[in-house]
């Protein structure tokens, strides 16, 4: 019996030793990782202590008083200056407004306003919004917000916005001077979610040729739903070809761009993929059958079309699904993740690069610093007035579209059809004349004084075709002082400047009457890039470009 016990022990001894050895190795590796983590954490604590120690010393010993928060912000800026231009620190004060813009709504009463001679005048009322439900009309003047007088005071737009916005379903008293009977009214308004639309306008550019038009100003949480609704409406109007305007669109949510791309490309097509040192390759493909896979497609881009705009444009170009018209895009091929910080601020940190289906990353070089990076766009803007858009390619590697067309990365997306900027009206005095407060005030007061006669125009298209913008310009000149009138006449001697100024006055008036649909209905027929897009869609050049 004792021998059997001894024999069993001898049998199990090697196994026990092996098990103990394995346990020891596991414990050793865990202890090593734990100690390494402790060393890393201690190094971080030491660095933080060093920064706080320096700022504490400045507060205690420096010759003048300083703001500690600004010192911390400057320290953060110094750290980020060694990274790429798109890694940014967002203060707690700025984060809310940025988040509202991207989420597609904010909480307020639903009005737009202008400050005219120290008076807040309502220039737009959101349909169905809290202000409209309470009885506020276009042209009403704000006298008080709660018990605070806002009329006749030098008050900023930011202050008014802060007073009108608030928590969901909170209430605010607004005293107005009614445009209808010049009587004061005190209205109780319950704040609600106010949409921030990313789709400026959708309309038919050419009904005879069945060409629709959409303009997106960003890619927010609501963009795809807005796009789908507009696409359905245009198709019901007979749209067979689409011009999608992404000029001036700085980007936004990747998800919105990939969903819209899916409507053009169809299921399982690669739209974009991302990859970084700490981020494995992630592919984004079209998930469902697209609602606009077959019709002709033109996408308009320029130097301000960035990020998500370039993802959508790049996928369209690489799959030869449509053609790009305009100027070379911004060149942002970096992906940021947002990390919320304990103080309410956030860090948007670049974690990967994105690549178009052909494999190109269109990120511009930034090794020479952020200042040079920004100035490159400015110089390119001036260069785009020329007849071509030649530039030194940072990436000379040739990439190929589905139909074997050559494309390049490293400097933005080059359009298939380059259209230089129309410089006929480029003039600082002209732009100063168009965008000054006097001009804005003139158009607004003309609209208020002539609402009855302007009611004859039943639609934005009707107004664009039949209203004579020249009469506005003549009336405007009559309101100027002799000194400014002479300068106005000098500017108007150039036919292109005269035509452009009259067009801008008419478009601004149309915006007051029909919102953005009015503005673009007036502007689009004179837009050089849109005119080129229409020509391509109505002739065989479209097919030749796609297939060459």
> What is the Cα 484 distance to its own chain's centre?
36
Helix (DSSP H) and strand (DSSP E) numbers for the chain: 18, 21
Residue 39 has pLDDT above 90, yes or no: no
- The predicted pLDDT at position 34 comes to 44
| Domain end marker among 421, 454, 486 | 421
Which of residues 505 and 486 earns the better pLDDT score?
Answer: 505
- The predicted pLDDT at position 242 comes to 98
Strands (E) across 48-191 are located at 88-90, 105-108, 111-116, 119-125, 141-145, 148-149, 171-177, 184-190
DSSP labels, 385-414: TSS------S----EE-TT--EE--SS-PP
Cα Rg of the chain (Å, integer): 30
Alpha-carbon dihedral sign for residues 37, 42, 45, 51 = negative
Confidence of residue 390 (pLDDT cuts 50, 70, 90): low
Instruction: Quote the CA–CA distance of 528 and 547 in Å, as a whole number.
Output: 25
Residues 142 and 125 in one domain: yes
Residues 260 and 325 in one domain: yes
In a domain, 381, yes or no: yes
Centre a 10 Å sphere on the Cβ of residue 272 and count the other Cβ atoms it contains.
25
- The predicted pLDDT at position 31 comes to 44
Residues with Cβ < 8 Å from 187, sequence gap 6 or more?
134, 135, 136, 173, 174, 175, 176
- The predicted pLDDT at position 307 comes to 96
Residue 173 has pLDDT above 90, yes or no: yes
Residue 387 has pLDDT above 60, yes or no: no
Q: What does the CA dihedral 440, 443, 445, 449 come to, rounded to 10 degrees?
A: -170
| Domain end marker among 379, 396, 421 | 421
- The predicted pLDDT at position 394 comes to 66
In a domain, 1, yes or no: no
Residues 238 and 272 in one domain: yes
Residues 349 and 374 in one domain: yes
Residue 460 has pLDDT above 90, yes or no: yes
Confidence of residue 70 (pLDDT cuts 50, 70, 90): confident
Average pLDDT rounded to a whole number, residues 158-182: 93
Confidence of residue 341 (pLDDT cuts 50, 70, 90): confident
Confidence of residue 484 (pLDDT cuts 50, 70, 90): confident
- The predicted pLDDT at position 376 comes to 86
Average pLDDT rounded to a whole number, residues 343-362: 94
In a domain, 76, yes or no: no
In a domain, 4, yes or no: no
Residues 188 and 207 in one domain: no
Confidence of residue 77 (pLDDT cuts 50, 70, 90): confident
- The predicted pLDDT at position 143 comes to 94
Residue 38 has pLDDT above 50, yes or no: no
Confidence of residue 270 (pLDDT cuts 50, 70, 90): very high
In a domain, 224, yes or no: yes
Residues 406 and 449 in one domain: no
Q: What is the mean pLDDT of the chain?
A: 87
Q: What is the pLDDT of residues 206-249, one digit of tens each?
A: 999 999 999 999 999 999 999 999 999 999 999 999 999 999 99
Residues 417 and 291 in one domain: yes
Alpha-carbon dihedral sign for residues 250, 254, 259, 264 = positive
Residue 8 has pLDDT above 50, yes or no: no
Residue 32 has pLDDT above 70, yes or no: no
Residues 352 and 457 in one domain: no
Q: 3-state DSSP call for residue 365? A: coil
Instruction: Quote the CA–CA distance of 282 and 276 in Å, as a whole number.
Output: 10
Average pLDDT rounded to a whole number, residues 58-64: 87
Residues 256 and 147 in one domain: no
What are the Cα distances from residue 90, in Å, to 80, 87, 252, 333? 12, 10, 16, 20
In a domain, 63, yes or no: no
Residue 322 has pLDDT above 80, yes or no: yes
Q: At 113, which CATH number?
A: 2.30.42.10
In a domain, 544, yes or no: no
Residues 308 and 454 in one domain: no
Phi (first) and psi of residue 217, to 5 degrees: -95, -15
- Distance between start and end Cα atoms, the chain: 92
Phi (first) and psi of residue 344, to 5 degrees: 90, -5
Give yes or no for a contact between 346 and 403, defined as CB atoms under 8 angstroms apart: no
Residues 131 and 177 in one domain: yes
Residues 187 and 291 in one domain: no
**Residue in this structure with the two tokens 């010049």, named with its chain if needed:** 182
| Domain end marker among 398, 421, 444 | 421
- The predicted pLDDT at position 428 comes to 87
Average pLDDT rounded to a whole number, residues 254-268: 95
DSSP secondary-structure letter at 415? Answer: P
pTM for the model = 0.86
In a domain, 49, yes or no: no
Residue 35 has pLDDT above 80, yes or no: no
**What six digits make up the tokens of 392?**
């030194």
Which of residues 168 and 4 earns the better pLDDT score?
Answer: 168
- Structural domains in the chain (count): 3
Q: Which helix (H) or strand (E) holds 340?
A: strand 334-340
Average pLDDT rounded to a whole number, residues 406-431: 89
Give yes or no for a contact between 332 and 307, defined as CB atoms under 8 angstroms apart: yes
Domain extent, residue 345, equals 199-421
For the chain, give the number of residues.
548
Strands (E) across 199-333 are located at 199-206, 211-216, 241-245, 270-276, 279-285, 296-301, 323-326
């Amino acid at each position: 019996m004792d021998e059997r016990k001894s024999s069993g022990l001898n049998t199990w001894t090697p196994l026990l030793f092996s098990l103990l050895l394995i346990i020891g190795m596991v414990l050793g590796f865990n202890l090593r990782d734990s100690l390494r983590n402790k060393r890393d954490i201690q190094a971080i604590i030491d660095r933080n202590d060093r920064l706080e120690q320096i700022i504490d010393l400045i507060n205690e010993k420096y010759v003048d008083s300083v703001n500690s928060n600004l010192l911390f912000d400057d320290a953060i800026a110094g750290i980020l200056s060694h990274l790429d231009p798109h890694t940014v620190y967002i203060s707690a004060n700025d984060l809310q407004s940025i988040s509202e813009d991207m989420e597609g709504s904010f909480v307020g009463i639903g009005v737009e306003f202008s400050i005219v001679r120290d008076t807040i005048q309502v220039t737009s009322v959101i349909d169905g919004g809290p202000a409209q439900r309470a009885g506020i009309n276009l042209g009403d003047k704000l006298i008080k917000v709660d018990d605070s007088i806002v009329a006749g005071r030098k008050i900023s737009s930011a202050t008014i916005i802060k007073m009108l916005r608030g928590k969901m379903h909170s209430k605010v008293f607004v005293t107005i001077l009614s445009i209808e009977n010049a009587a004061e009214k005190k209205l109780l308004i319950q704040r609600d979610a106010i949409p921030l639309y990313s789709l400026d306008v959708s309309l038919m550019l050419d009904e005879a040729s069945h060409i629709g038009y959409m303009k997106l100003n960003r890619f927010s949480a609501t963009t795809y739903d807005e796009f789908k609704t507009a696409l359905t409406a245009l198709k019901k109007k007979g749209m067979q070809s689409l011009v999608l305007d992404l000029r001036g669109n700085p980007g936004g949510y990747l998800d919105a761009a990939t969903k819209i791309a899916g409507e053009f490309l169809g299921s399982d097509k690669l739209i974009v993929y991302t990859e970084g040192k700490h981020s494995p390759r992630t592919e984004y493909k079209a998930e469902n059958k697209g609602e606009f896979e077959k019709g002709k497609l033109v996408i308009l881009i320029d130097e301000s079309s960035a990020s998500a705009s370039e993802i959508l444009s790049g996928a369209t170009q690489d799959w030869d699904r449509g053609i790009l018209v305009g100027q070379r895009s911004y060149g942002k091929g970096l992906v940021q993740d947002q990390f919320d910080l304990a103080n309410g601020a956030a860090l948007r940190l670049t974690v990967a690069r994105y690549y178009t289906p052909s494999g190109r990353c269109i990120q511009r070089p930034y090794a020479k610093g952020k200042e040079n990076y920004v100035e490159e766009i400015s110089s390119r803007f001036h260069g785009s007035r020329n007849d071509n858009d030649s530039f030194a390619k940072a990436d000379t590697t040739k990439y190929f579209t589905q139909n074997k067309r050559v494309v390049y990365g490293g400097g933005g997306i080059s359009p298939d059809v380059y259209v230089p900027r129309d410089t006929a009206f480029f003039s600082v005095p002209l732009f100063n004349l168009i965008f000054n407060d006097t001009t804005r005030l003139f158009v607004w007061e003309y609209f208020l004084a002539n609402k009855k006669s302007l009611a004859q125009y039943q639609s934005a298209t009707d107004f664009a075709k039949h209203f004579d913008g020249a009469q506005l310009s003549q009336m405007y000149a009559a309101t100027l002082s002799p000194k400014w009138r002479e300068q106005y006449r000098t500017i108007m001697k150039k036919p292109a400047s005269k035509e452009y100024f009259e067009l801008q006055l008419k478009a601004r008036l149309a915006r007051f009457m029909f919102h953005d649909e009015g503005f673009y209905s007036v502007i689009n027929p004179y837009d050089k890039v849109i005119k080129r897009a229409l020509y391509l869609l109505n002739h065989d050049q479209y097919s030749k470009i796609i297939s060459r």
